[in-house]
Amino acid sequence: MSIGNRLKVAICGKSGLVGSKLQEMFSSQHNEVVGIKVRENTDIETLARELENCDILINLSGTTILAPWSESYKKTLYSSRIDTTNKLVQAMTLCKEKPKLFLSASAVGIYDSKSMHDDESEDYADDFLSNLCKDWEAEAKKAEALGVRCVQMRFGVIFAKEGGAMQKILPPFKMFVGGKLGSGEQIVSWIHIDDLLRAVEFIVKTPGINGSVNFTAPYPLSNSEQTEILGKVLNRPTFFGVPSFMVKLIFGEGAKVVLDSKNVIPTKLIKHGFVFDYENFEDALKDIVQ
């Protein structure tokens, strides 16, 4: 399977940042792109008909993680990922011509905050976010038993002009009140949206890649270093830090997303010959803000 032949690509979660950019990329290469919507009342047979003869299925379903985690919101986070993925796998079992490749989202939140992690690392955290990712991936991996090549995309923090992390980070800096979050010592594993899209295309063309894949740039950095670079590139002060207790006050348990260290290296992509356009955060940031 290569991008060159016309492919049928189904995207679940097409309206989000990554989904809309992937639709743009695949459509520009004259592939057929269809959006898949999975609701609580979605019928498995109907879903199977939509997935029939589809070359690639991309699962990006899930309510935003960067929000206050009430108990009811945690249930929404869980069901929007696990239940949706479960329905997609069930639908694939009914397809005569199953998707050849199933790319399913996950996150670097699966890993603990102590170690450095490559794609094979099993040093997982023991918290809600990690367990959410583990269950999400386990659900997606069930498609392997159907003979479908499965890749779990463990996304780092995504930087893009159109949204992602920049939507949250830029406003305070533009108002001259930007600064580090908490201690600033936490390691941030990040990726430029263009490299994310190119990595998806690379995986489509590289049948040897399967299982978990870290979608992160090769050089993670601390939140303090990130803040310093933001100040330099935007020409803004960086001394208005937000203390940990304030972040926890706003996001509750969800504060882990920005306060926990995630030191993650994209070993699998690099080993297979993928070359990042944006290895360094400063280059990525300059491209995004200029």
Give me the pLDDT at residue 1, please: 58
Give me the pLDDT at residue 2, please: 53
Kindly tell me the sign of the dihedral angle through the C-alpha atoms of 152, 201, 199, 81: negative
pTM of the model: 0.95
- Between the two ends of the chain, the Cα-to-Cα distance in Å is 37
CB atoms < 10 A from the CB of 284, how many? 24
Give the β-pairing of 263-264 and 116-117. parallel
Please return the burial class of 195, using the count of CB atoms within 10 Å of its CB with bins 0-12, 13-18 and 19+: buried
Q: Where are the beta strands (DSSP E) in 95-249?
A: 101-107, 116-117, 149-155, 157-160, 163-164, 187-188, 190-192, 211-215, 221-222
Domain ranges, ordered by start, for the chain: 8-223+249-289
Cβ-contact 10, 50 below 8 angstroms? yes
pLDDT one digit per residue (tens) for the chain, 290 residues: 555 579 999 999 999 999 999 999 999 999 999 999 998 889 999 999 999 999 999 999 999 998 899 999 999 999 999 999 999 999 999 999 999 999 999 999 999 999 999 999 999 999 999 999 999 999 999 999 999 999 999 999 999 998 888 888 888 888 888 899 999 999 999 999 999 999 999 999 999 999 999 999 999 999 999 999 999 999 999 988 889 998 888 888 888 898 999 999 999 999 999 999 999 999 999 999 87
Give me the pLDDT at residue 290, please: 79
Tokens of 246: 């304030």
In three-state secondary structure terms, 121 is: coil
Q: How far apart are CA 266 and CA 119, in angstroms?
A: 7
Which CA distances in Å does 55 have to 23, 58, 106, 190, 277? 14, 10, 21, 29, 27
Which CA distances in Å does 222 have to 90, 123, 185, 262? 41, 20, 6, 10
Taking phi over 0 as left and psi of -120 to 50 as alpha, with beta for the rest, 72 belongs to alpha
Which CA distances in Å does 239 have to 10, 19, 109, 181? 45, 35, 28, 11
Residue position matching structure tokens 């583990």: 134
Q: How far apart are CA 93 and CA 42, in angstroms?
A: 16
Residues near 191 by Cβ (< 8 Å), separated by ≥ 6?
155, 156, 157, 158, 159, 199, 215, 216, 217, 278
Which CA distances in Å does 11 have to 20, 22, 32, 104, 127? 9, 8, 11, 10, 29
Give me the pLDDT at residue 251, please: 85
Give me the pLDDT at residue 171, please: 84
Which CA distances in Å does 76 have to 15, 17, 27, 40, 61? 18, 20, 31, 12, 12
The CATH T-level fold of domain 8-223+249-289 is Rossmann fold (3.40.50)
